[in-house]
Structure formats: C-alpha cells, structure tokens
Amino acid sequence: MAIRNLRLEGDEILKKKSREVETIDEKIQILIDDMIETMHKYNGVGLAAVQVGVLKRVIVIDLYDDKGPIVMINPIIIKTKGEHEMDEGCLSFPNQFAKVMRPEEVVAEYTDRNGKRMRVKAKELLAQAISHEVDHLNGEVFMDKIIPGTLEYIEPEE
C-alpha cells in the first residue's frame, strides 16, 4: 500500500469524467488499498480515484464507525429524497469549507471490491459523502455547488 499524491484545486483532471471499471483486477485492488490509506492519512471521509489522478469510477468512504471503509465501484445514485444545507470540505481543496445543498437520503447501487452488486440506502453523512464523491466521478467539485457567501478558509494548525 502507498500514499498517493492528491490532485488539488486548479488541476484539470478534477473536471474530467471518470470511466467505468470493466474488470476488478489486481491493479484496481491496489488502487483501492492506496486510496483508503491516502484518505486515512489526510483524515478524509471519502476519496474518489480522480483525486489521486486515476480516471476510474472508484470511491472509498469511511465514517470511522465500526463498519470500516466502504468501497464503491461504478456507483450510481438511483434515488434521492429531500434536500438540506450542509457544511462541506474536500481533500482536493485543503482548508476550505462552505455550505452546499445535498439530498437528505440517497439510494445508490455499486459493485463492491469482490465484484458483488450492492445497493445502499444512505442518510446524513453517508448520503452526503456518496453525493460528493459521485460528483467527483462526473467531473464536478463541491466548489461548483457552494451557497454564495459561505466559503471559509481555515488556517491549518501547525
């Protein structure tokens, strides 16, 4: 496993649409492990493959509960319910936070790392993370969705 370099604000790859994963091979498994390790190093809740420079439809999410990281390959949001304002940040936009509108609930289908097709009904932070990371796969970043006037820059602690 390895820590991958994060692609940051201004990197053109963040605006590109990711491609479907056709085969879950060893290369994809290594990518997944590296993404989880990278996300944990930077204390992120989620990470999309595009954020480490790989245009594949792979995301990892960890709510830091007892369930461990969730791996979603080729995720699709098939249903959303409600909408609410949430605080959000992104590992590709370090120390920047803003309010965005996100669905209160999402239903998503995806393939897990073992090739099994799954469906999840998510609320709260998980719904937000899935929405945020699927946006990345479509070349959208949270900065495209912020509520005007809510962007804050938080100085990192030394």
pTM, two decimal places: 0.95
pLDDT of residue 146 exceeding 90: yes
The pLDDT, as a whole number, for residue 158 is: 67
User: Rounded to whole angstroms, what are the CA distances from 40 to 85, 98, 110?
Assistant: 26, 22, 22
Domains of the chain, CATH where assigned: 12-153 (3.90.45.10)
pLDDT band at 156 (very low <50, low <70, confident <90, very high): confident
| pLDDT confidence band for 148 (50 / 70 / 90) | very high
The answer on pLDDT for 133 being more than 90 is yes
83 is annotated as an active-site residue: no
- The catalytically annotated residue of 133, 140, 152, 155 is 133
User: What is the average pLDDT value for the chain, to the nearest integer?
Assistant: 96
